[in-house]
């Protein structure tokens, strides 16, 4: 037993020395490879360096040494660089050098780049002060200088991989590279890299990766570098997931942060309209229309809100008592509908709805003023003023007809439009047109 114990005492130091020699061997092979770069790079040296450093990072004695991961980082950056060159050679048919290189970045496998990044993170974990010092270019030795150069090269590769993956439509990978680039740029410069965080968000959306869409947009919000886009994206995402409470919370914060953003304002307006909170919707719309007076859709929507305020409906959908400022509301509704008609909404449906609603508004106004007059009139007043009431209603009916006719020209088979015109033609004494509409209804 004593002999065995003595033997073990001799074996242990040799094992430790053996593992340390792996680190030294990796450095020697890496140096040999780097010495061939200006002439004819000998990749065999690099592969030997990789074999040695992988053994060193797997051993208890050397796996937590900064030196180990500094060499590993440089080795894997060189491995990736070599893979990139091989990928570019495959694309010799692409004449333009920049396009060829960008496509190579898009196609190249990134496992070696990822391993290099992991090694760099390990250095940061083991000795943050040293990492920060070298990242700033403050080097005390030749080896630290080489590490700084490789770190700078990683930044270049990261940016090119992001744009390359985007070019070949690998949006999921591009999102990760843009996010990683944003974090490293922020660390290296001390300034938040808003641009690349935003690029990561856009790529996540193009990839339809809902987890990354939420995480990256929320990160920009948490970092206080958000734009309205970030709130818009999360709001739409949460609604698509039926998480209405979260959607409304982000919309509320977004409206507070960006009170003048039209998209967020419009989304809030939609919610107000759905809840029947017309006054709140109108306040938002007035702000929006002041910025975009030539927006046909906004003119239509604000006209529609005034229309709904003038002609309120109960829970059953039936008309209820008209408000005291009924005539003023109708005038405002007609004004905005008319602006929308003049601006002509781009979509056929939008244009049809605008024309139809304006025609319906005049038709309903004619019905309302006549019914109101008849309701209040005494027998004497009725006999005396009936012609006046009828003339006022008739004028409104005649205003309605041209708009409904234009609407029908867009949708010739719209039954609601045909029915409304038939009634109006008969009311205004145009029996021939009324019969024509009746025939169309039968068909």
Tell me what the pLDDT averaged over the chain comes to.
Answer: 88
Q: What per-residue confidence (pLDDT) applies to 3?
A: 40
Kindly report, residue by residue over 341-366, the tens digit of the pLDDT: 999 998 899 899 999 999 999 999 99
Q: What per-residue confidence (pLDDT) applies to 47?
A: 96
Q: What per-residue confidence (pLDDT) applies to 11?
A: 41
Closest CA to 82 of 51, 108, 57: 108
Within a 10 A sphere around the Cβ of 227, how many other Cβ atoms? Answer: 17
Domain limits of the chain? 20-168, 293-443
Percent of the chain with pLDDT over 70: 91
Lowest average pLDDT, out of 75-84, 89-98, 304-313, 349-358, goes to 304-313
Lowest average pLDDT, out of 163-172, 296-305, 406-415, goes to 296-305
Banded model confidence at residue 19, pLDDT cuts 50, 70, 90? low
Cα 316 versus chain centre, distance: 39
Banded model confidence at residue 282, pLDDT cuts 50, 70, 90? confident
Kindly report, residue by residue over 154-199, the tens digit of the pLDDT: 999 999 999 999 999 999 999 999 999 999 888 878 899 999 999 9
Is pLDDT above 80 for 272?
yes
Which residues does residue 319 pair with via DSSP β-bridges, in sequence order? 313
In CATH terms, 293-443 corresponds, of 3.40.1350.10, 1.10.10.10, 1.25.40.10, 3.90.1200.10, to 1.25.40.10
Kindly report, residue by residue over 112-169, the tens digit of the pLDDT: 999 999 999 999 999 999 999 998 889 889 999 999 999 999 999 999 999 999 999 9
Q: What per-residue confidence (pLDDT) applies to 416?
A: 95
What is d(CA 265, CA 251) in angstroms, rounded to the nearest whole number? 9
> Could you tell me which residue, 177 or 5, shows the higher pLDDT?
177
Q: Do 150 and 74 meet the contact criterion of CB atoms below 8 Å apart?
A: yes
Kindly report, residue by residue over 201-233, the tens digit of the pLDDT: 999 999 999 999 999 999 999 999 999 999 999
What is d(CA 46, CA 57) in angstroms, rounded to the nearest whole number? 16
Q: What per-residue confidence (pLDDT) applies to 189?
A: 83
Q: What is the mean pLDDT of residues 82-98?
A: 94
Q: Which of 7-21, 157-171, 319-333 has the highest mean pLDDT?
A: 157-171
Is pLDDT above 80 for 375?
no
pTM of the model: 0.66
Q: What per-residue confidence (pLDDT) applies to 287?
A: 85
CA dihedral 60→61→67→73, nearest 10 degrees, is -30
178-188 burial, b at 16+ Cβ within 10 Å, e below that, comes to bbbbbbbbbeb
Q: What per-residue confidence (pLDDT) applies to 16?
A: 43
Banded model confidence at residue 17, pLDDT cuts 50, 70, 90? very low
248-268 burial, b at 16+ Cβ within 10 Å, e below that, comes to bebbebbbebbeebbebbbbb
> Could you tell me which residue, 3 or 212, shows the higher pLDDT?
212
């Amino acid at each position: 037993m004593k002999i065995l114990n003595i033997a073990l005492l001799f074996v242990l130091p040799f094992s430790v020395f053996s593992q340390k020699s792996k680190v030294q061997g990796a450095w020697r092979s890496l140096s040999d490879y780097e010495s061939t770069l200006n002439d004819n790079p000998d990749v065999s040296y690099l592969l030997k360096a990789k074999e040695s450093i992988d053994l060193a990072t797997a051993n208890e004695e050397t796996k937590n040494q900064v030196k180990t991961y500094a060499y590993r980082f440089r080795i894997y950056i060189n491995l990736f660089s070599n893979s990139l060159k091989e990928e570019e050679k495959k694309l010799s048919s692409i004449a333009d050098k920049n396009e060829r290189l960008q496509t190579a970045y898009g196609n190249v496998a990134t496992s070696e780049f990822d391993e290099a990044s992991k090694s760099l993170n390990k250095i940061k974990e083991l000795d943050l002060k040293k990492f920060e010092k070298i990242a700033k270019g403050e080097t005390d030795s030749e080896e630290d200088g080489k590490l700084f150069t490789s770190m700078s090269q990683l930044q270049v590769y990261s940016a090119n991989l992001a744009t390359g993956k985007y070019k070949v439509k690998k949006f999921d990978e591009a999102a990760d590279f843009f996010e990683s680039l944003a974090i490293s740029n922020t660390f290296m410069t001390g300034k938040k890299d808003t641009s690349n965080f935003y690029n990561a968000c856009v790529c996540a959306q193009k990839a339809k990766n809902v987890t990354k869409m939420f995480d990256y947009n929320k990160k920009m919000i948490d970092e206080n570098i958000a734009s309205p886009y970030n709130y818009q994206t999360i709001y739409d995402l949460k609604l698509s997931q039926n998480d209405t409470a979260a959607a409304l919370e982000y919309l509320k914060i977004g409206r507070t942060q960006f009170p003048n953003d039209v998209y967020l304002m419009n989304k809030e307006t939609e919610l107000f309209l759905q809840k029947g909170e017309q006054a709140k919707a109108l306040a938002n719309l007035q702000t929006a229309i002041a910025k975009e007076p030539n927006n046909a859709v906004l003119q239509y929507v604000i006209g529609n809100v005034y229309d709904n305020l003038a002609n309120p409906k109960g829970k059953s959908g039936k008309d209820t008592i008209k408000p005291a400022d009924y005539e003023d509301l109708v005038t405002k509704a007609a004004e905005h509908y008319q602006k929308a008609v003049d601006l002509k909404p781009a979509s056929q449906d939008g244009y049809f709805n605008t024309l139809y609603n304006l025609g319906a508004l005049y038709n309903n106004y004619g019905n309302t003023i006549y019914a109101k007059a008849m309701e209040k009139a005494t027998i004497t007043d009725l006999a005396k003023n009936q012609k006046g009431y009828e003339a006022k209603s008739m004028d409104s009916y005649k205003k309605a007809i041209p708009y409904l006719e234009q609407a029908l020209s867009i949708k010739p088979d719209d039954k609601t439009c045909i029915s409304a015109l038939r009634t109006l033609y008969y009311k205004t004494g145009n029996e021939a047109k009324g019969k024509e509409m009746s025939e169309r209804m039968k068909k």
